[in-house]
A and B are shown apart, each in its own frame.
Chain A
Amino acid sequence: MKKSPVFFAVLSLTLPVVLAQEPEEKPAFDKSKAEVAPLPLPNPSDKLIAIEESVGAGKIDWSALADSIAVDVDANEFPDQADAAMALGVKIADGIVAIKAQDVEKLNRSADQLEALGKNLGATDEDMKRARQVRDFANRGEWLMVYLELGFLQADIMKKLNTPENQNDRTLVIASGWLQGARYATSLILANYSPDLSNVLREPVLATELDKQLAALPASLQESEKVRQIRQAVGQAAKIVDVPLTAPVEKDKVEQLKSVSDTAVMAITSK
């Protein structure tokens, strides 16, 4: 039977679709060719959960911990983008502990400060539309959804820093958040010290990578006193948390880590 032109037209339109459905052989997985993703956002959740597991559920007063460590920042005092980035990292860590404390007031305060700092970094109201969902879920007591929404809010703000010209600020957010997370973790570990628990701080790969990225910041940023403090603190921290797989971090080293983190975060969050 002779095929009409319409048949061939239909065939030409459908054939690519049909062929695209054909199974293909997978390309080989070669990890040596991997593109390395940026370091993750600071998130002390893992360490805090691990510490809580060791100490015992319900035995940590998260609200009191937040009161003793969280730092309020006024975004108006951080007009410089690098300074705002460092303060943002601190508030990201504070937000996570406010969720652990299931404290709506503390969470809202952290979210307000995150939004204000985000604006200093170029984020728009549209970029931060998830802030309302964070508050809605918090008001309903759906704390695991708060974690997720707050994480997306932070990620939306961080998208502003994913450009080559803002990459350095991204490193500063991560470093400062990591140090504020270290303040929370070391406080709890010192209050409940055991060699086994102290191993929670072990993190040689990430800390070394972060130290490397800070060392690679341009000279113009290295001249900032806040950046100098943060780099010094992360450099010392990287050595402290670099212990063998099951070895403890000695108590005096945990104290030292807390001290260098305290000093750096106070410097970051001062005017």
Chain B
Amino acid sequence: MNKMPRARKTVALVATLAALAIRPAFADPAEAEDVAYRMAKTYIDRSFVISPTDNFGLVGQGGVIQFFVPVNRGLDYVFLAGTDAMARDVDIYVYDEVGNLVLDDRRGQKNAGVQFRSSYNGTAIVYLHMAGAQGIASWCVLVGRRGADKASLQSGLPPAVAQPPARGFTTTPAPDPNRATPSLSVAGAPTAKFNTVSGTASAPQTFTLKGSALRGVVRLSAPDGFQVSKDGADFSRTLSVQPSVGDLGETTIMVRLDPGAQPNDSLAGNIVIESDGVTAVTVPVTGAVGPAGP
């Protein structure tokens, strides 16, 4: 057998190494989808109903994507993130509606998954963090759910692939002793008396509402004869404002006299602003409604 000359061997080695080093350096969404699909099959074997959220995309190192995931009390959920070869480390963080971190997977692996049981009906806020990537990486996320009866049938199965020990969501989200105290505040409350005639809305006045660490929706109730609105178009006696993961940025509220109010020259009361776990805030308003013109 002829021996390959040393120089040719070296050239062949260099060529092989070059081929390995110069791998295609681009994101591959199809690969991320395939990886997620394979992860899903593991959970389908455990009776999870899995479907894509049609959420897939590209992200660079350090990028964070937020997902709204509808959840129902007593159901088990899995949130799976598959990635392509460009990804090196992807993490998942699960928050409840009011901003408590209840579960995460920060294991330093290129695919991630969390499993939890929801203790409430509503929405979980899930974040995908691309903690490590070469350039831009593709991701594909899948959500699965199953009833508790299915979970009990599967209790003898080994731990899932890409699944840290399930924790969190086992109790109703409750105030964490270390968590910030919820707060609500208003600024620029109307000082002028509202005036109009019956059948016509008064000119609106505004105030701003702000909150942090809130545990639920903020509800506003206006006194007789008054209406409130967030957009200046849809006015009503009551209004709900949804904080974003516990925080309510400066939100302008418009107030006016109800065009349906009966003539009354001494309307007065408080707009009451409430949210779970926080002392109600009031905004005093006064106004007068004259009789409609001839």
Chain A residues proximal to chain B, CB less than 8 Å: 6, 9-10, 13-14, 16-17, 20, 24, 26-31, 33-41, 43, 45-47, 49-50, 52-53, 57, 144-145, 147-148, 150-152, 154-155, 158-159, 162, 199-206, 208-209, 215, 235, 239, 242, 244-246
* Partner of A37 from B21, B66, B216 at Cβ < 8 Å: B66
- List B83-117 residues whose CB lies under 8 Å from chain A: 89, 91, 93, 95, 97, 106, 108
* Partner of A34 from B14, B65, B74 at Cβ < 8 Å: B65
Q: A238's closest neighbor in chain B, by CB?
A: B240
Asked whether A46 lies within 8 Å of B71 as measured between CB atoms, the reply is yes
* Partner of B52 from A24, A53, A155 at Cβ < 8 Å: A155
* Partner of B14 from A6, A28, A43, A244 at Cβ < 8 Å: A6
Asked whether A204 lies within 8 Å of B145 as measured between CB atoms, the reply is no
Asked whether A53 lies within 8 Å of B74 as measured between CB atoms, the reply is yes
14 chain-A/chain-B pairs, Cβ below 8 angstroms: A6-B14, A10-B14, A14-B17, A27-B131, A30-B64, A35-B66, A53-B149, A147-B49, A199-B73, A200-B72, A204-B240, A205-B125, A242-B240, A246-B172
Asked whether A37 lies within 8 Å of B64 as measured between CB atoms, the reply is no
Asked whether A244 lies within 8 Å of B276 as measured between CB atoms, the reply is yes
Asked whether B51 lies within 8 Å of A148 as measured between CB atoms, the reply is yes
Asked whether B121 lies within 8 Å of A158 as measured between CB atoms, the reply is no
* Partner of B66 from A27, A31, A53 at Cβ < 8 Å: A31
Smallest distance from the beta carbon of A88 to chain B beta carbons, Å?
12
Report chain B residues within 8 Å CB of A46: 70-72, 75, 145
Encode B139-154 as 1/0 by CB contact (under 8 A) with A: 0000101111100000
Smallest distance from the beta carbon of A63 to chain B beta carbons, Å?
18
Check: B120 CB closer than 8 A to any chain A CB.
yes
**A59 to B172 Cα, complex, angstroms:** 28
Q: Contacts A10-B17, A239-B240, A245-B173 hold; do A200 and B121 have CB atoms under 8 A apart?
A: yes
Asked whether B68 lies within 8 Å of A205 as measured between CB atoms, the reply is yes
**A191 to B245 Cα, complex, angstroms:** 34
- Which one, B55-63, B176-184, B198-206, is touching chain A? B55-63
Report chain B residues within 8 Å CB of A31: 64, 66, 93, 95, 127, 245
Q: Contacts A144-B48, A204-B242 hold; do A40 and B20 have CB atoms under 8 A apart?
A: no
Asked whether A27 lies within 8 Å of B242 as measured between CB atoms, the reply is no
Q: Contacts A10-B13, A40-B67 hold; do A206 and B123 have CB atoms under 8 A apart?
A: yes
Could you say which of B20, B69, B122, B240 has the most chain A C-beta atoms within 10 Å of its C-beta? Answer: B122
Report chain B residues within 8 Å CB of A204: 97, 122-123, 217, 240, 242
Q: Contacts A49-B49, A57-B149 hold; do A29 and B127 have CB atoms under 8 A apart?
A: yes
* Partner of B131 from A14, A29, A200, A201 at Cβ < 8 Å: A29
**A24 to B199 Cα, complex, angstroms:** 68
Report chain A residues within 8 Å CB of B134: 20
**A50 to B149 Cα, complex, angstroms:** 11
Asked whether B54 lies within 8 Å of A158 as measured between CB atoms, the reply is yes
**A14 to B61 Cα, complex, angstroms:** 23
Asked whether A9 lies within 8 Å of B147 as measured between CB atoms, the reply is no
Report chain B residues within 8 Å CB of A244: 216-217, 276
Report chain A residues within 8 Å CB of B172: 245-246
Asked whether B52 lies within 8 Å of A37 as measured between CB atoms, the reply is no
Smallest distance from the beta carbon of A196 to chain B beta carbons, Å?
9
Q: Contacts A147-B49, A245-B276 hold; do A159 and B132 have CB atoms under 8 A apart?
A: no
* Partner of B145 from A38, A49, A145, A162 at Cβ < 8 Å: A49
Encode B162-174 as 1/0 by CB contact (under 8 A) with A: 0000000000110
**A33 to B59 Cα, complex, angstroms:** 13
**A26 to B73 Cα, complex, angstroms:** 34
